[in-house]
Amino acid sequence: MVGTEFFGNFDLASAAIWLFWIFFAGLVYYLQTENMREGYPLQTDDGQIAPNQGPFPVPSDKTFHLRDGRGELTLPSGQRGDRDNLALEQTSQAAGSPYEPTGNPMIDGVGPASWAPRKDWPELDAHGHNKIQPMSMLEEFTVSAGTDPRGKPVVAGDGEVVGRVTDMWIDVPEQYVRFLTVDLNPEGTGKTCLIPFNFARVKSNRVVVRSLYGANFDTVPGIKGTDSITLLEEEKIMAYYGGGTLYADPKRLEPQL
């Protein structure tokens, strides 16, 4: 009979299930080690290499060729690394003790206002164009629904009117508003800043930003260009407004009932 001499009593079903488990274990190992290319090796609070890196080893270097002529990136050894000399101090010598800010946490970018060192270049769409652009430079975009915030005053969390909205920054592929441009002194120097749209509440006669107070708008991180915003600039602006929900007023640090 065909197969009798070669297989004998060999269990093909058992072999199939064992091959599946071996393949699945290898897949888990591969995916987990690939996931460790960023953020590893782990470090202790004092910046030393942590003795326990987890059950999986840190993968060997792999070089990625970045699109649009932006060079190469080798991971995990070519990581950007953490920011140095943070304005924080540990509250206790015990391992795992929390850190407290030593200066102005919103300006220093620590705690809830912390930011990651992302690349200092604009995010690009699939066609190699800047993904986020001011609406004033996009003739094909108009406000088709909702309330147009342009021209409306901006009111901070303490009720102070800090300026007036002059433009919107559009995520072109997503067709979504990401930032608002605010003229902080319409009758003076014309200094501007950006407000993340998710931190703004557009009313019928004003735009309300609760996370910051009037005095905080002078130190909002700026941008270098007039028609583009980099990933790093986005990160710092978002972190500043996010940190303001706790640090804009010392009273916000106290328990709330």
Q: Is the pLDDT of residue 14 over 70?
A: yes
**Which SS3 state, helix, strand or coil, does residue 216 take?**
helix
Q: What is the dihedral of CA 163, 165, 166, 170, to 10 degrees?
A: 140
Does 210 or 51 have the greater pLDDT score? 210
Does 48 or 138 have the greater pLDDT score? 138
User: Confidence class of residue 203 from pLDDT cuts 50, 70 and 90?
Assistant: very high
Does 188 or 33 have the greater pLDDT score? 33
User: Confidence class of residue 77 from pLDDT cuts 50, 70 and 90?
Assistant: confident
Q: What is the pLDDT of residues 216-238, one digit of tens each?
A: 999 999 999 888 999 999 999 99
User: Which range scores top for mean pLDDT: 1-5, 9-13, 26-30, 142-146?
Assistant: 26-30
> What is residue 67's predicted lDDT score, i.e. its pLDDT?
84
What share of the chain in percent tops pLDDT 90?
Answer: 53
> What is residue 164's predicted lDDT score, i.e. its pLDDT?
93
Q: What is the pLDDT of residues 117-173, one digit of tens each?
A: 888 999 999 888 999 999 999 988 888 888 899 999 999 999 999 999 999 999 999
CATH number attached to the domain at 111-252: 3.90.50.10
Whole-angstrom CA distances from 225 to 95, 116, 123, 156 are 43, 20, 14, 25
Which of 13-17, 28-32, 240-244 comes out lowest in average pLDDT? 13-17
In whole angstroms, give the CA distance from residue 57 to residue 144. 53
| Maximum Cα–Cα distance across the chain | 98
Q: Is the pLDDT of residue 2 over 70?
A: no
Does 38 or 9 have the greater pLDDT score? 38
Q: Is the pLDDT of residue 3 over 80?
A: no
Does 25 or 94 have the greater pLDDT score? 25
User: Confidence class of residue 205 from pLDDT cuts 50, 70 and 90?
Assistant: very high
* Per-domain boundaries in the chain: 5-35, 62-101, 111-252
**Which SS3 state, helix, strand or coil, does residue 170 take?**
strand
Burial zone of 256 (CB within 10 Å; 0-12 exposed, 13-18 middle, 19+ buried): exposed
Q: Average pLDDT of the chain?
A: 88
